[in-house]
Structure 1
Amino acid sequence: VGDGNTDHYCWQRPEDMTTSRHAYKVDAEHPGSDLAGETAAAMAAASMVFKKFNPHYSHLLLHHAQE
């Protein structure tokens, strides 16, 4: 998870960014079940989109959504 203020201050490709960026980790001491749930839901939805065109990728997305 990044810092929205910093991330939106600079409008260029991530590959070209040279400034340091803070990142935050979700774990037992720093809860973020809402973010984890939204990410899992997005992966599950994306797996449905890719199911017909790329079954392997679809399966991978669904697997990680269920983890």
Structure 2
Amino acid sequence: MDANTLVFGSMAVLSLAVFFYLGKFKASKKQTERDDRIDWSVRKFSIWKILLYSLALVGGIVLVQQFI
């Protein structure tokens, strides 16, 4: 085992330990029951708009690459 494996392996184990430790705590009622919460049931973009924007972006990138 080299130093990279030890350093990054220990960082991964430590970050997982911190993640699972902090995962035990729950938000307070003051945080969860607010009046100005985001309504996650309403979509701002439909799947078709996202697909169309992605297609236009990729098409634009391809056109720019053709001229360079």
TM-score where L is the length of structure 1? 0.33
TM-score where L is the length of structure 2? 0.33
Structure ranking higher in helix proportion: 2
Larger radius of gyration: 2
Q: Per chain length, whose mean CA-contact separation is higher, i.e. which structure has more relative contact order (CA < 8 Å, sep 6+)?
A: 1
